[in-house]
Amino acid sequence: MKRHLVQLDSLRGLAALTVVFSHLLYVYPYVEPNTSQNADFFWLNIVKYSPLHIFFDGHGAVILFFVLSGFVLALPYYRESFKLQYIPYIIKRFFRIYVPYIITLAFAFLLAIPFVGDVVQGSSGFVKRQWGTEISMQDILDHVLFIGNSYDINQFNPVIWSLIHELRISIIFPFIMMIVLRVNWKYIICLAVFLSIMVDLARLDYTIHYTGIFMIGAILAKHYQTIVHWLKERNTLFKGFLLLLAVCFYSYSFLFYNTPSAHMYMMDDWFTAIGSVIFISISLASIRVTNVLKWAPIQYMGEISYSLYLVHLPIALFMVHLLANLIPTSPILLLSFVLALLFASLSYHFIEIPSIKMGAKIARKIKREKSSEFNRNKLANKNT
């Protein structure tokens, strides 16, 4: 089983781009609100409420992130030589997720401070919700502790909501895998769907719902080679149809938009998850898709995807507040996009990579110490 699948990095990069596009477009007052019944937005509605929404489906991208995370975290468990050491695993996840987050949080804080409480005239509701309340030391402490939903995520960087769930699920993921490895995949899917329904009905924490999405990724990791082998035997027409179906599933939350019964009990996220599973499978099975995803610019977008996710919105909000009364919105957004790519590249090379290396170094040191301790105890028992 391969240790690293570059296609998945590229998928993550493309998904991160759609998050960026969604937030940039939300700067326009008419993109985020429901315009489905407004004839003045006929052409916009064709894009918003159709599978074309995939190009700026920010929430869908996060669901894809969760499926990918479950897939990637589960892969090592299916190698015969794999043996989990929990503390080194947690350390690596901490340095992979939290350290870049805390540094970019400081970056977002510096960008937000000059504009806290300011209102941009003619701005969208999305822009008005951000950076709207005064910042206290308790607010900063809450963000640093990363303790969950007890604070206003719109104060600095709204995208952190997904990192809350990512970190929580990472902590319990080894225990999730104890179930996934021992239970038939059909029962795992039933359990995951049941968790979502319970969250919706009993108003439980959404982390429970997203845990089910991670489990779907873990199941896919277990069976992906069989699925890929099956797909490779199908013809191009079938793969094209499957890809189109994936686009429809992925964008389901904006289909049948005015039919509430079509969007009950986390149904949107589950259709998006199904679409994500198909995307991942085809990206690994189709030579044509693989060649596209291995194109250097797309691969690089995958490498910087986490940094891009973290820095793009504070930069966009800063530029909107700074330039809204000076130049039109479109140039502001274009400039924001270029700056986001630039700062994401800097963050990747000077924050992410060093942080990942430091986490791996500390984890290896702990593993060596535990191994030495084990050997000493083994020798001592042998001598006695």
* CA-derived radius of gyration, the chain: 22
Closest of 130, 110, 107 to residue 307, by C-alpha: 107
pLDDT at 152 over 90: no
Domain that holds residue 130: 6-222+286-383
235 domain residue, yes or no: no
241 domain residue, yes or no: no
pLDDT at 105 over 70: yes
In this prediction, residue 378 carries a pLDDT of: 64
* High-pLDDT (> 90) share of the chain, %: 79
In this prediction, residue 379 carries a pLDDT of: 63
Closest of 29, 41, 244 to residue 120, by C-alpha: 29
pLDDT at 376 over 80: no
206-245 pLDDT, tens digit each? 999 999 999 999 999 999 999 999 999 999 999 999 999 9
Cβ(213)–Cβ(74) under 8 Å? no
Least confident interval from 47-61, 194-208, 211-225, 359-373: 359-373
295 domain residue, yes or no: yes
In this prediction, residue 139 carries a pLDDT of: 82
Tell me the backbone φ, ψ of residue 97, rounded to 5 degrees.
-105, -50
127 domain residue, yes or no: yes
332 domain residue, yes or no: yes
Domain count within the chain:
1
Q: Which two tokens stand for residue 87?
A: 């503390």
pLDDT-derived band at 119, boundaries 50, 70, 90: confident
For residue 257, the SS3 value is: coil
Tell me what the mean pLDDT of segment 349-356 comes to.
98
240 domain residue, yes or no: no
Distance CA 19, CA 272 (A): 15
227 domain residue, yes or no: no
Averaged pLDDT of the chain: 92
pLDDT at 70 over 60: yes
Cβ(12)–Cβ(5) under 8 Å? no
Least confident interval from 87-96, 126-135, 328-337: 126-135
133 domain residue, yes or no: yes
